A and B are shown apart, each in its own frame.
Chain A
């Protein structure tokens, strides 16, 4: 009935949000394909809603515990809460980690070294932590520029994608004892999560590359020109070493 009426921004929004019937969706698609002006209008509405979804994820981590009136003596962690050991050292110990993860850290615990913390953190990653992320190069480059800037380093997206065996997914700022630490996350061809973490270190404290298994994961670490690095993830040490050599050469 309204087939040939003008398509409003609301119609196009509902189309983008999958809120129209299949027949209506096909009709809008056909009209957009045949009309450059409609294409422009659709493009002006083509927001990356996944980005919005992800952007608000961190707010869940910052939520206070449920109020006492709910009778919850234990603070309830949302299922998406990510665990970062340095937070334990800060102030969130106790209730937050009273459950299984408390036992995890108490049982030998990670090494008292940033790389040990990284290894413990990486051990919590699974392929699905990253596999849903499918973002444009523009988004990744913009994110990478901001993240790399926190440690005062220029990192080009090309340097992370040219390696070939790893699919670059995401950059995040983490913290270790008040110092920024960046995490660049990858998926291997086998779907295993890997992370390249970089922290600003002491100038002149260069270290040759060493390989070791940490938390059951393959890892290679090195330090050069005032930055310390670790690449960790999966169980294929040769693959990790090879990718680490690449990163050491280009970063």
Chain B
């Protein structure tokens, strides 16, 4: 490995450390399960270090790594998760980390999160990128490798069902 490659790998490594919580959250939303999120997030870090030489200095590391995680999940790990079936939660079952009795938790926020997690995988992933991470449509479609029209239709569908669900819940509580 040349000195330059070594430097780039170090840059990627240093960048991944503070990015890891966001990467892990993204993986939770994509996979719907903390165990799978751990696997995908770790695998994405390994892949990012292996491919560090492809990272263009000065571009955004977060988008690049999210894209790596997305591809890993869709191309490799998702089918493993489906095959394993039995012992593992199915892909339809959403499991979120337990906040624990002492953790600071906002109960309404958790309900909102569960509603988002109840959306189809493609929709909730797009919601996370645009409404939580704050990416533009253009950035989200690059991460997900889909046309911009697909980003728009996923968000329109997500908005329709979330608006309805959250209004119903609010109505029930008030």
Nearest-Cβ distance from residue B30 to partner chain A, whole angstroms? 12
The verdict on A19 contacting B137 (CB below 8 Å), with A147-B106, A147-B108 known, is yes
Across-interface contacts of A235 in B (CB, < 8 A): none
Question: Is A44 in contact with chain B by the CB < 8 A criterion?
Answer: yes
Chain A binder among B54-62, B78-86, B126-134: B126-134
Is there an interface contact between A64 and B104, defined as CB atoms closer than 8 Å?
A: no
Question: Is A34 in contact with chain B by the CB < 8 A criterion?
Answer: no
Is there an interface contact between B169 and A70, defined as CB atoms closer than 8 Å?
A: no
Question: Is A30 in contact with chain B by the CB < 8 A criterion?
Answer: no
Is there an interface contact between A76 and B107, defined as CB atoms closer than 8 Å?
A: no
Contact mask for chain B residues 81-116; partner A; CB cutoff 8 A; 1 contact, 0 none: 000000000000000110111111111111111001
Is there an interface contact between B20 and A66, defined as CB atoms closer than 8 Å?
A: yes
Question: Is B146 in contact with chain A by the CB < 8 A criterion?
Answer: no
Is there an interface contact between B132 and A52, defined as CB atoms closer than 8 Å?
A: yes
Contact of B45 among A13, A19, A70 (CB under 8 A): A70
Question: Is B74 in contact with chain A by the CB < 8 A criterion?
Answer: no
Is there an interface contact between A145 and B156, defined as CB atoms closer than 8 Å?
A: no
Is there an interface contact between A78 and B102, defined as CB atoms closer than 8 Å?
A: no
The verdict on A56 contacting B106 (CB below 8 Å), with A17-B130, A64-B38, A70-B13 known, is no
- Closest residue of chain A to B136 (Cβ to Cβ) is A19
Question: Is B159 in contact with chain A by the CB < 8 A criterion?
Answer: yes
Whole-angstrom CA separation of A237 from B105 in the bound complex = 29
Whole-angstrom CA separation of A143 from B170 in the bound complex = 9
Nearest-Cβ distance from residue A97 to partner chain B, whole angstroms? 15
Is there an interface contact between A44 and B160, defined as CB atoms closer than 8 Å?
A: yes
Contact of B109 among A12, A55, A72 (CB under 8 A): A55
Contact of A146 among B107, B134, B136, B153 (CB under 8 A): B107
Whole-angstrom CA separation of A78 from B62 in the bound complex = 14
Is there an interface contact between A66 and B107, defined as CB atoms closer than 8 Å?
A: no
- Closest residue of chain A to B48 (Cβ to Cβ) is A70
Which residues 1-21 of A sit at the B interface, judged by CB distance below 8 A?
8-10, 12-14, 16-17, 19
